[in-house]
Amino acid sequence: MPVGSEPPAGRGSPRPRPAARRIRRHRRANGGRRSGFDTGFHDNALGKQTVPLINSREAKPMTRASPGTHETAAGQQNNSLPHTLGSDTPMRFALSVRRGAPFAALLATAALIAVSCSSSHDTAVPKPAAFPGFQDGTVDADGTTMHYVKGGQGPAIVLLHGWPEDLQAFQKIAPDLAKDHTVVAIDLPGFGDSGFPKTDDGYQALAVAADVHAVTRSLNLGRFDLLGHDWGGAIALAYAAEYRSDLGHLAILEAPPTTDYLNLVQTRPGTFWWDWLANGPKDDLAEQLIDGKESAFYGSFYKEADGAIDKAESDGLIAVFSKPGHTHAGLEYFREQDTGNKAVDALIAKDGKLTIPVLGIGGEHSMGPAIGTLTARVAEHVTTDVVPGANHWVLEENPAYVLSSVRNFLKS
């Protein structure tokens, strides 16, 4: 989008970039703080230690207006990390780590400019239908339309996807879970078929958690289990901190908790280059570089799943992210995390660690056991598991293992 033009139709109104954000950019250019996921993390904050698949138990040291609901039938169709924290096993998803923050940010921007100059404009591709036997529905969450699919019967479990995906990320596990659960998969605000928040601070974790709460309250789920991958894991943690009585179990996949993620961005700028791209250039320059080149930009992420995300699925996701406002929405999650993640930490500091059972899952070639290890900072009862042979895309790369791990955990 050209600088100074109006936001595309359907997009939340962007807030002016505050001076604090410009200060953060200056701080980063001089070796300032921050960090992210999707990387073969090893030792650092945790020190070289192997984290076994065990339960760890530690001693404990926004309301919205009532939503309306609509349903229609769906069509058929570590600073540390992984394993032995300290090994040199590379992660296939990650770029080589750059030592200098300025060089990392410059490299990321230059790479996008190269993409902008070399790729042809994308052609819209129809998105795959929702899961067979599930119902599509929408809920109005204080003006933001929240899209979800619902299927099955039994104890409820809610699924939250990450970036850059939508609820289709759960297509390999949701139908099986629906055999004995009521399964609700939700498109986060700005993703898939959900709408956009009124302002960009609506992408902060607790604000998004309130939108998710509007859905769960409208569906009268009662006490339910919550699972989130990537950004969905961050939102799931925020939900658990804010709406503690709603949940029985919490599963977090490939998402370091709150400020632990920020610390990883700081120490590994070359790995988490998209975070620096989102937060570095001003005036929505990142959106302008990606506009029209969504196939090359988003396709570069999906290719790292080694075929686990097939062409039909990636084409469908690229088509969605090519729509006006969707790239901006995804990037705003990263821009709002400084404030949003700290707010979640403050809430946990005030109310204490989570007391429900929590499962922390990492891919063998990505976060490994560090998800569980880091999550023990914010939860008392954490089970750690590692998905064999998987990178960041654990839901697609080894869904059978994830499904088995989650099912065993829910029995606890």
Q: Torsions phi, psi of 16, nearest 5?
A: -60, 140
CA distance 334 to 261: 11
Q: Which residues of 327-360 are buried (b: 16+ CB within 10 A; e: fewer)?
A: bbbbbbbbbbbbebbebbbebbeeeebbebbbbb
Greater confidence (104 vs 243) lies with: 243
DSSP for 164-229, please give it: T--GGGGTTTHHHHTTTSEEEEEPPTTSTT----SBGGGGSHHHHHHHHHHHHHHTT--SEEEEEE
CA distance 364 to 40: 9
Q: Kindly state the DSSP code that residue 110 receives in the 8-state scheme.
A: H
Question: Considering the domain 33-410 in this protein, what is its CATH number?
Answer: 3.40.50.1820
What percentage of residues in the chain have a pLDDT greater than 70?
68
This prediction's pTM: 0.75
User: Coil, strand or helix: which one is 84?
Assistant: strand
Q: Report whether pLDDT(87) > 60.
A: no
Q: Mean of the pLDDT values across residues 162-180?
A: 97
CA distance 383 to 361: 8
User: Coil, strand or helix: which one is 79?
Assistant: coil
What integer pLDDT is reported at residue 412 of this predicted model? Answer: 80
What integer pLDDT is reported at residue 283 of this predicted model? Answer: 87
Whether residue 140 contacts residue 197, with contact meaning beta carbons closer than 8 Å, is answered with no
Instruction: Give the lowest-confidence range in 94-108, 224-238, 277-291.
Output: 94-108
Q: Mean of the pLDDT values across residues 336-347?
A: 96
pLDDT band at 269 (very low <50, low <70, confident <90, very high): confident
Q: Which two tokens stand for residue 20?
A: 């604090």
Whether residue 393 contacts residue 363, with contact meaning beta carbons closer than 8 Å, is answered with yes
What integer pLDDT is reported at residue 281 of this predicted model? Answer: 83
Distances (CA, A) of 404 to 88, 108, 225, 386, 409: 29, 38, 16, 12, 8
In this predicted model, what pLDDT tens digit does every residue of 301-320 receive, in sequence order? 999 898 999 999 999 999 99
Question: CA torsion sign, 323 to 329 to 330 to 331?
Answer: positive
Q: Say if strands 247-253 and 354-363 run parallel, antiparallel, or are unpaired.
A: parallel
**Most confident of the ranges 87-91, 115-119, 129-133:** 129-133
Looking at 247-365, list the stretches that DSSP marks H as alpha helix, in order from N- to C-terminal side.
Answer: 258-267, 273-279, 285-290, 294-302, 311-321, 326-335, 337-351
CA distance 9 to 33: 35
In this predicted model, what pLDDT tens digit does every residue of 4-59 receive, in sequence order? 333 334 444 444 443 334 334 333 433 333 333 334 443 333 333 333 333 332 33
